[in-house]
Amino acid sequence: MSKKASSEKQASRNSQTQGTDFFDTHIAQYERALQHIDVLPHVRLILGQPKNEIIVNFPVKLDNGEYQLFTGYRIQHNNIMGPYKGGIRFHHDVTLNEVKALAAIMTYKCALLEVPFGGAKGGVALNVHKFSRSEVEKITRRFTHDLGNNIGPEYDIPAPDVGTNSQVMVWMMDTYMNMHNLSDKNAQRRIVTGKSLTSGGSRGREKATGQGVVYSIQEWADENNFRLDGATYTLQGFGNVGSHAAAILSKLGASLVAVMDHTGSIANEEGINVRKLTEHVKATGGVRGYTSCNDVTADEFWAMKCDICIPAALELQIDERVASMMNCRLIVEGANGPTTLDGERVLIEKGIEVIPDLMANAGGVVVSYFEWVQNKRSESWQLQEIDERLHFMMRRAYHDMRAFAREHNTDNRTAAYAVAVGRINSVYGERGIFP
Ligand X SMILES: NC(=O)c1ccc[n+]([C@@H]2O[C@H](COP(=O)([O-])OP(=O)(O)OC[C@H]3O[C@@H](n4cnc5c(N)ncnc54)[C@H](O)[C@@H]3O)[C@@H](O)[C@H]2O)c1
Residues that bind ligand X (CB under 6 A): 160-163, 209, 236-242, 260-262, 286, 312-314, 334-336, 361, 364
Shortest distance in whole angstroms from residue 165 CB to ligand X: 7
Contacts of 236 (CB under 8 A, 6+ apart): 242, 259, 260, 261, 301, 309, 310, 311, 312, 313, 317, 335, 338
Shortest distance in whole angstroms from residue 333 CB to ligand X: 9
Decide whether 44 or 262 has the Cβ nearer to ligand X: 262
Query: Order of strands across the sheet with 156-160?
Result: 52-61, 67-78, 119-124, 84-90, 156-160
- Taking Cα atoms as reference points, which of 304, 322, 302, 314 lies closest to residue 262? 314
Shortest distance in whole angstroms from residue 331 CB to ligand X: 14
Decide whether 36 or 74 has the Cβ nearer to ligand X: 74
Distance CA 61, CA 84 (A): 31
Decide whether 166 or 218 has the Cβ nearer to ligand X: 166
Q: Parallel, antiparallel, or unpaired for β 67-78 and 52-61?
A: antiparallel
Distance CA 162, CA 89 (A): 5
Whether residue 43 contacts residue 37, with contact meaning beta carbons closer than 8 Å, is answered with no
SS3 content of the chain, % helix, strand, coil (to 5): 50, 15, 30
Whether residue 195 contacts residue 367, with contact meaning beta carbons closer than 8 Å, is answered with no
Residue 368 is labelled as binding a ligand: yes
Q: Which residues of 377-390 are buried (b: 16+ CB within 10 A; e: fewer)?
A: eeeebeeeebbebb
| Direct distance between the N- and C-terminal alpha carbons of the chain, in angstroms, rounded to an integer | 57
Residue 134 is labelled as binding a ligand: no
Distance CA 312, CA 244 (A): 11
- Taking Cα atoms as reference points, which of 146, 149, 143, 155 lies closest to residue 181? 149
Which residue's CB atom is positioned nearest to ligand X? 239
Shortest distance in whole angstroms from residue 381 CB to ligand X: 18
- The CB density around residue 283, as the number of other CB atoms within 10 Å, is 8
Ramachandran class of 271: left when φ > 0, alpha when ψ lies in -120 to 50, beta otherwise = left
Shortest distance in whole angstroms from residue 218 CB to ligand X: 18
Decide whether 81 or 259 has the Cβ nearer to ligand X: 259
Decide whether 34 or 359 has the Cβ nearer to ligand X: 359
Q: Which residues are catalytic?
A: 121
Shortest distance in whole angstroms from residue 73 CB to ligand X: 14
Residue 109 is labelled as binding a ligand: yes
Residue 240 is labelled as binding a ligand: yes
Decide whether 132 or 178 has the Cβ nearer to ligand X: 132
Ramachandran class of 264: left when φ > 0, alpha when ψ lies in -120 to 50, beta otherwise = left
Known binding-site residue numbers for substrate:
85, 109, 368
Known binding-site residue numbers:
85, 109, 209, 240, 368
